[in-house]
Amino acid sequence: MNLKRLIRTPLEKIYIKRLEKRLASFKQPKHIAVILDGNRRWAALQGGPTSRGHRVGAGKIEELLDWCEKHNVKVVTLWLLSTDNLQRSDSEVIPLLGIIENVAKELASQKKWKLRALGHLPLLPERTRQVLVGVEHDTEMIDGITVNLAVGYGGRRELLDAVKSLVDELESRQSSDIANAITLEAIESNLYTSGQPDPDLVIRTSGEQRLSGFLMWQSAHSEFWFCDAYWPDFRYIDFLRALRDYGLRQRRYGA
């Protein structure tokens, strides 16, 4: 075994214990949103196909949810596939959709988490839609962390869908003053995340320091934490650092 790894592991364990102890005195986020970025670049560094990066990244999701459970997070939103990703070649998108379907079914089989699909589902193939709708139904009565699977998700698309849904609702009620009925609260009630708290903390892996339209409305007052590690390499110690940094910040809610 690598000597550096032998030395580092005991030190990491000590550091993790110290972080966990420190976090006990901090206020922690109740809703964490994660942009699982870097699977493709990780695979390129490994010299393997892109699909391997997606598979390894998918395998990290259960670990993350276990970490969130341990630290009393109530809602987790995972951005698995954007509307932009759907424009990539079929040779990449089709295997990725298969991986996402398997992830959704595996998470549902654990019977630990309440799954919800976030995104413009009509953009997805019928089989993928059926899987996502199915896992929602199968887990709706589970009293555990709510896990939002953002698939076919785009922030602009979500806002467009919300406004369209609201206008349709107002027209069906034959509202005489549609313009004044379109309020912040009314739009919010038609978002994909309606009824859920906004994310307290948004994490993005891979070193990119942008949101790319993720939860544009909901993240207005969120804290952001960017990590250099590609998603397949994201570790528990990285997660704890994100919680620590969140706990050290003074949230000003846009002020």
Q: Which residues are catalytically annotated?
A: 37, 85
User: 214 is written with which tokens?
Assistant: 């993720």
Length of the chain: 255
Contact (Cβ atoms closer than 8 angstroms) between residue 78 and residue 147 = yes
- What is the secondary structure of 89-138 as a DSSP string? -HHHHHHHHHHHHHHHHHHHHHT-SEEEEES-GGGS-HHHHHHHHHHHHH
**Cα 72 from Cα 75, distance rounded (Å):** 9
Cα distance between residue 139 and residue 108, in whole Å = 6
d(CA 57, CA 38): 9
Contact predicate 49/218, CB 8 Å: no
* Residues 6 or more apart whose Cβ sits within 8 Å of residue 152: 81, 82, 83, 86, 119, 120, 121, 123, 124
The alpha carbon dihedral of 20, 22, 25, 31 has a sign of negative
Which is nearest to 112 in space by CA: 64, 148, 144?
A: 144
Helix (H) or strand (E) holding 224: strand 223-226
